[in-house]
A = this chain, B = another copy of it.
Amino acid sequence: MTTTVPAPAPSPSGVSADPLGVAVLGYSFMGKAHSNAWRNVNAFYPSPRVAQKVLVGRDPAQVREAARQFGWEESATDWRSVLERDDIAIVDICTPGHLHAELAIAALEAGKHVLVEKPLANSVPEAALMAAAAVEARSRGVQSMVAFNYRRLPALALARKLIAEGRLGEVRQVRLSYLQDWLSDEGAPMSWRLRRETAGSGALGDLASHAVDQVLFLLGTPIVSVSGTVNTFVPTREGGHGPEPVTVDDAAWATLRLGSGAVASLEVSRVATGRKNALQIEVFGSRGGLQFDLERLNELRFFDAGAPAEAQGYGTILATEPSHPYLEAWWPPGHLLGWDSTFTSQAADLLRAIESGTAPSPSFEDGLAVQRVLEALQVSAAQGSRAVDL
């Protein structure tokens, strides 16, 4: 007599339900990261069950191989075919930004829940159309979310909680920077990412979008004016046909005034030699302070001005305790999470919102708000850094 039994897939509540079919559009860096999330979300979170139905991409051979590697049942090259399938409940868009609007709006109209990589779009008008489509779809019970995955970092979710609980008092000053160095070498070649027509912008859209979203996430107050500066330090790079002008920014700077009266500074760069992926955030309030660095993503530093005077100091919280956000799903204290965990937790949050019929966060409207700030920054930069109201 065998003791083995097949492992069925009932919902956590014991009710057996069909899994939610997922399609991911795009199979490179973000496609790999999102595939990883869908492959693992049910192993960590008691969320609705999912099925990795189909991975979509343009190159048939490559997407077929990627589908096999990342655990998808099928691959496809025509994204429209996915929208017609009844077994697909969620469409997850990981394509370049200029395709986001068309794909997301079509998917929402087809009744699919939609997850879109950040930034929401390459322009405010596109983002506004997407936000409008999301509002309309939501009225039909169709949900959408923009993938600002760093909201799912336990350390930053904890930061938000501490701020919301008043542990920092009144927040006055915020410092944000996102520093990378992959363009530090002048010999780094030309690519589509360095052309305005394909990439929209440089460090601005790629890095500043995360930082601006964190202002909204952590503080919950709008940005009301922006003074900005942009710069391209290496004006030409070697392309396939010789030197070619770089038409996006290598770095950008801004001072943001917030609705609450707080002021935030922002600096993003792809030429910050020696910094690999340093999204750094500092928040100073009347009763405390916080510090975070994505290169040490499991840590949050917290200063409590209410602690006994002689023992005050920035404490390094290792955000791996069961009491910390998201951690209950993962490992025991002291066992660090990786960058990829943010996508898994993000998928879980989306699934729970779909299950409960509540709007996921951050919404396309949130993504639009970020886009408006980035645009204002560019307008300001073009006008000698004059502050632009939002």
State whether B336 touches A331 (Cβ < 8 A).
Answer: no
**Is A211 among interface residues, defined by CB-CB distance under 8 A?**
no
Find chain B residues with CB under 8 A from A336 CB: 294-295, 297, 336, 338-339
Cross-chain contact of A39 among B5, B40, B168 (Cβ < 8 A): B40
Find chain B residues with CB under 8 A from A334 CB: 180, 275-278, 294-295
**Is A247 among interface residues, defined by CB-CB distance under 8 A?**
no
Cross-chain contact of A4 among B75, B301, B321, B333 (Cβ < 8 A): B75
Please, how many angstroms separate the alpha-carbon atoms of A385 and B310 in the complex? Answer: 40
Please, how many angstroms separate the alpha-carbon atoms of A297 and B298 in the complex? Answer: 10
Please, how many angstroms separate the alpha-carbon atoms of A7 and B72 in the complex? Answer: 7
**Is A285 among interface residues, defined by CB-CB distance under 8 A?**
yes
Minimum C-beta distance from A298 to chain B (A) = 8
Provide 10 A-B residue pairs closer than 8 Å at the C-beta atoms, listed in order of the A residue: A2-B76, A39-B40, A185-B305, A251-B263, A253-B263, A273-B289, A273-B303, A273-B305, A275-B289, A380-B385
**Is A36 among interface residues, defined by CB-CB distance under 8 A?**
yes
Find chain B residues with CB under 8 A from A282 CB: 272
State whether A261 touches B233 (Cβ < 8 A).
Answer: yes
State whether B338 touches A337 (Cβ < 8 A).
Answer: yes
State whether A7 touches B296 (Cβ < 8 A).
Answer: no
Q: Encode A258-279 as 1/0 by CB contact (under 8 A) with B.
A: 0001010101010111111110
Please, how many angstroms separate the alpha-carbon atoms of A60 and B3 in the complex? Answer: 9
Q: Chain A interface secondary structure, helix, strand, loop or mixed?
A: mixed
Please, how many angstroms separate the alpha-carbon atoms of A72 and B5 in the complex? Answer: 11
**Is A356 among interface residues, defined by CB-CB distance under 8 A?**
no
State whether A317 touches B312 (Cβ < 8 A).
Answer: yes
**Is A384 among interface residues, defined by CB-CB distance under 8 A?**
yes
State whether A29 touches B287 (Cβ < 8 A).
Answer: no
The interface on chain A, measured as residues whose beta carbon lies within 8 A of the other chain's beta carbons, has a size of 120
State whether A272 touches B43 (Cβ < 8 A).
Answer: no
Please, how many angstroms separate the alpha-carbon atoms of A175 and B295 in the complex? Answer: 18
Find chain B residues with CB under 8 A from A32 CB: 43
State whether B267 touches A305 (Cβ < 8 A).
Answer: no
Give 5 new A-B contacts, CB below 8 A, not counting A185-B305, A312-B315.
Answer: A162-B311, A168-B273, A173-B271, A182-B333, A275-B289
Please, how many angstroms separate the alpha-carbon atoms of A285 and B181 in the complex? Answer: 10
Stretch at the interface among A63-71, A89-97, A115-123: A63-71
Give residues of chain A (171-220) contacting chain B, Cβ–Cβ below 8 Å: 172-173, 175, 177, 180-182, 184-186
Find chain B residues with CB under 8 A from A284 CB: 181, 184, 269, 271-275
Find chain B residues with CB under 8 A from A177 CB: 175
The residue of chain B having its C-beta at the shortest distance from the C-beta of A84 within the complex is: B2
State whether B323 touches A331 (Cβ < 8 A).
Answer: no
State whether B173 touches A272 (Cβ < 8 A).
Answer: yes
Q: Encode A300-318 as 1/0 by CB contact (under 8 A) with B.
A: 1111110101111111111
Find chain B residues with CB under 8 A from A161 CB: 310
Find chain B residues with CB under 8 A from A175 CB: 177, 267
**Is A138 among interface residues, defined by CB-CB distance under 8 A?**
no
Give residues of chain A (143-159) contacting chain B, Cβ–Cβ below 8 Å: 158
Find chain B residues with CB under 8 A from A10 CB: 68
